């Protein structure tokens, strides 16, 4: 799931799946907060949409966008009225994390101080994403190690990036 928010403490999520992370983030929204979440698969999006609405969140609070992240991100400002993403959760395809992070930068959606969380950066891994985040000079990067839920011996991790602003 990826979350993007137009107001401080508003998130954006890329990769909704069934909506579990979306619901957790939505419950933590401040009054008036807004969560945009993106899911590529229309069939999965139908299930997630039902769960989100069943949990009591309306379209003004949690908006589920169906589409590919590389097509949605460039339209976030114009079509979805997103001026900034204070929190972004990358939980879709790790091989897409670098491209999507660079799209968020290119479209000036990350304000200084924004947090980007990226799941599964060690297994299956997102080495180019991690290398970029650590070496470009625009992020403070922390890695939180964890085992996989069903396979604790397999090491994985979540990257926590704090955006310092454009170079």
Report how far apart, in Å, the C-alpha atoms of 128 and of each of 99, 135, 136, 138, 139 are: 10, 10, 12, 15, 14
Q: Is 21 helix (H, G, I), strand (E, B) or coil?
A: helix
Its pTM stands at: 0.90
CA nearest to 163, candidates 107, 102, 111: 111
Structure tokens at 20: 């579990």
Print pLDDT tens along the chain (167 aa): 455 554 445 555 666 667 889 999 999 998 888 999 999 999 999 999 999 999 999 999 999 999 999 999 999 999 999 999 999 999 999 999 999 999 999 999 999 999 999 999 999 899 999 999 999 999 999 999 988 878 888 899 999 999 999 97
Q: Output the domain CATH number for residue 39.
A: 3.40.50.150
Q: Are strands 62-66 and 2-4 parallel, antiparallel or unpaired?
A: unpaired
* Count of structural domains, the chain: 1
Residue 73 belongs to what domain range? 2-163
């Amino acid at each position: 799931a990826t979350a993007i928010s137009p107001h401080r403490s508003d998130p954006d999520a890329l990769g909704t799946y069934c909506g579990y992370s979306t619901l957790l983030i939505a419950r933590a929204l401040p009054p008036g907060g807004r969560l945009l979440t993106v899911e590529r698969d229309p069939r999965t999006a139908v299930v997630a949409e039902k769960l989100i609405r069943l949990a009591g969140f309306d379209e003004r609070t949690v908006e589920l966008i169906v589409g590919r992240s590389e097509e949605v991100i460039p339209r976030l400002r114009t079509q979805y009225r997103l001026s900034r993403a204070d929190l972004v959760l990358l939980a879709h395809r790790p091989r897409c994390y670098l491209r999507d992070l660079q799209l968020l930068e290119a479209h000036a959606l990350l304000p200084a101080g924004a947090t980007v969380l990226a799941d599964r950066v060690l297994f299956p891994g997102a080495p180019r994403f991690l290398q970029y985040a650590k070496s470009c000079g625009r992020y403070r990067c922390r890695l939180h190690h964890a085992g996989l839920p069903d396979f604790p011996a397999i090491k994985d991790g979540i990257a926590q990036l704090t955006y310092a602003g454009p170079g």
